[in-house]
Structure 1
Amino acid sequence: MSDPSSERLKAAVQALFQARPVEGPPGDDGQRSVWHLSPQGAELLSFVDPEGRVQRQELTLLDEHCIWTSGVGLRTGRIEQEGAMRAETKVVHPDAQLVPTRLLRAALALEGYQGNDRYIQHIQRVLALARQGLVLSGGARSPVEPVAAAAVPSRASAPGAMPTAPSVPPETLDPVMLQRQKTEGLTMLIVLGLGLVVGVALLLWLI
């Protein structure tokens, strides 16, 4: 790829996948932070409750930002660097409304992850579900529905645990079933019509 921003994004994401998470001490409410930092411009900050459930995640990819909060859903924003080179401060400017292109770029950037880091798996799954919601809504002019929080197992839990996808109506996911239902409905109407014609014919014959 010749696009420098795409190359930078690929390098930043690969470095994020290899980053070693740093866990902070529990706060007064029992929550702790888990920080993945890539020197190439990617960052994942997760906040986990005492039971191991992810409550909030902040993903930075170069100058774009995605925030997921349990019970609220996804928001997007942009990053602005302020200050001198050695004392840079990142300022997040939230978007007034969710920007689908930012969400899609983040989802595509993380979709190739195949490691076993639970926190990267969680945000990967969240973004994948949000991307699916965008596709199903035809561009998602309305905000993306919140994605349910998924438990992040402790070290003693099963390593293969993954976030649970929210339930989606079967008719939304299976267009074949929708077509079958329409066909069956049309067949019933035809049968009822034939029955009505036969009934009228019999009535006229009896008269």
Structure 2
Amino acid sequence: MHARLRRRMNNPSPEKLKEAVQALYRVRAVEGPPGDHGQRSVWHMCSQGAELLSLVDLEGRVQRQELTLLEDHYVWTSGEGLRTGRVEVEGGSKAGPASPIVHTDPQLVPLRLMRAAAALETYEGEDRYILHMKRVLALAREGLAMREASSGSPSAEPSREPGLTADPFREMKPDSEAAPNVPPSSSGEGVMMLVVFGFGLLVAIALLVWLL
């Protein structure tokens, strides 16, 4: 019975995820004081199992975000991109409450990505931090779809995918800018071409003398 319950919790329904997102953007964000390097935290948290923690620099740019939707966990940083994981609540006794532990996935899990992107795509509010995470997830999903389209088959566990583990807001250079791969000619072929050219030149001179 515990195994069946755990499977249900690890596969939340789209309705539950959307309810958690709706509850998340109904709460008022709490801003923390600036830290040693000027970064400040912006925290959205609701009682429906959703939480969004954003770290912002002095210019107001988002540097890091952590999103929790029920048991799914997502971490985005400006340098490394998006990672997925799961939250497991362990412990809990009379001595103190249970503490959540985040288990990061070795590779980005497409199913988790799809769940969060679908839950956030209906958000049409103006909260810049929720909109930032919505954009991150949407771009990551587009990158996954492009990979599947190019390979012809869905990928179960993509690892180093542009737009997934890299910064999704960084522009990529088109493939046309890559230098063509031209194999160098061998020295033997060059000598042969010189011999043929010289022989042809001698024949042309001989014909010209004969005509004159």
Give the TM-score category using the shorter length: 0.5 to 0.7
Which of 10, 14, 23 lines up with 1:15 in the alignment? 23
Q: Deviations over 1:4-55 (max 9, x none)?
A: 7333222211101212100011110110000000111000000001111100
Give the 5 Å matches for 1:103-182.
Answer: 103-138=113-148, 139=154, 141-145=158-162, 146-148=166-168, 165-167=169-171
Deviation, 1:64, is: 0.6
> Is 1:97 the equivalent of 2:101?
no
Deviation, 1:104, is: 1.2
Equivalent-residue separation in structure 2 for 1:112 and 1:13 (angstroms): 9
Quick one: structure 1 residues 27 and 77, their matched pair in 2 at CA, closer, same or farther if it must change by over 3 Å?
same
5+ long unaligned stretches in structure 1: 149-164, 172-207
Give the TM-score taking structure 1 as reference length.
0.68
2:65 equivalent in structure 1? 57
Letter in structure 1 aligned against 2:114: L
Letter in structure 1 aligned against 2:92: A
Conserved in 2, the CA contact under 8 Å of 1:73 and 1:144? no
Equivalent-residue separation in structure 1 for 2:112 and 2:161 (angstroms): 13
Deviation, 1:169, is: 6.2
Deviation, 1:82, is: 1.9
Letter in structure 2 aligned against 1:90: P
Conserved in 2, the CA contact under 8 Å of 1:12 and 1:40? yes
Give the 5 Å matches for 1:42-53.
Answer: 42-53=50-61
Letter in structure 2 aligned against 1:104: M
Aligned residues: 154
1:34 equivalent in structure 2? 42
1:190 equivalent in structure 2? none
Equivalent-residue separation in structure 1 for 2:129 and 2:113 (angstroms): 18
Equivalent-residue separation in structure 2 for 1:89 and 1:147 (angstroms): 30
Greater Rg, structure 1 or structure 2? Answer: 2
RMSD: 2.3
